[in-house]
Homo-oligomer: A and B are copies of this chain.
Amino acid sequence: MGKREDNAIATRQSLIEAADHLIVQKGYENISVDDIVKTSGIAKGTFYNYFERKEDLIFELSKEHFAKLNTQTILSEQDDPIIIIKKYLIDFMSVIFNSKIELARQWVRYISFSETNSNKWQFDVQSFEQLLMKLIDADKLKVNTPVHQLAQLFLTEMYGVIFTWCISPKTVDPIATVKRFCDLQLSALLQPYLINA
């Protein structure tokens, strides 16, 4: 409501943005509260009015941060489910590819840090499951499609591409790899579950 609340929200946002900015430059492990408050121009004490511990901001951040990497599930009006899925996967990879590789690396490092960071993975699997379920609802896939299994399988491939890209950006082209994956395997994998119009 009031101006005060707005200011408070703005302050909080400043801190998050500063941290976000710093993470890309220095990596998760190497940002200090000092860095954050200096970058945001906010007093150190103020930081602790908003976050009980540094970790809290990091957690907050991961939500903000990886939201950027989330694909919008837009079910195109396309007919062919294979093309729909291919588009989805390419979009998914594009979002990551278009971010800087450093961001992707930080993400890999962060996400593999501990089980508490598995949200993104869970979320991605669920999103893909939803896509498949929409396709089922739209009578484009059979009701017995093993939604969860396929989602895991596809996402595993996606994560593998991201990972190997981080490892060897010169020899791995993420988008091309996804395209190849789709062309080589998609129809084979989905064949049993397709409903032919």
Contacts and interface: CB of A to CB of B under 8 A. Distances in A.
Interface of A: 27, 29, 105, 108-109, 111-115, 117-118, 120-122, 149, 152-153, 155-164, 166-172, 177, 180-181, 184-185, 188-189
B169 A115 contact: yes
A167 B109 contact: no
Nearest to A184: B189
A185 B181 contact: no
Contacts of A184: 153, 189
B157 A112 contact: no
A180 B164 contact: no
A164 B172 contact: no
Most buried by B among A158, A169, A185: A185
Most buried by B among A164, A169, A177: A164
A162 to B, nearest CB: 8
A76 to B, nearest CB: 25
Contacts of A113: 27, 105, 109
Contacts of A156: 157, 160-161, 164, 172, 177, 181
B118 A168 contact: yes
A37 to B, nearest CB: 14
Given A108-B108, A121-B164, 16 more contacts: A105-B113, A115-B167, A118-B168, A118-B171, A152-B164, A152-B171, A153-B177, A155-B164, A156-B157, A156-B177, A158-B160, A159-B160, A159-B167, A162-B163, A163-B163, A185-B185
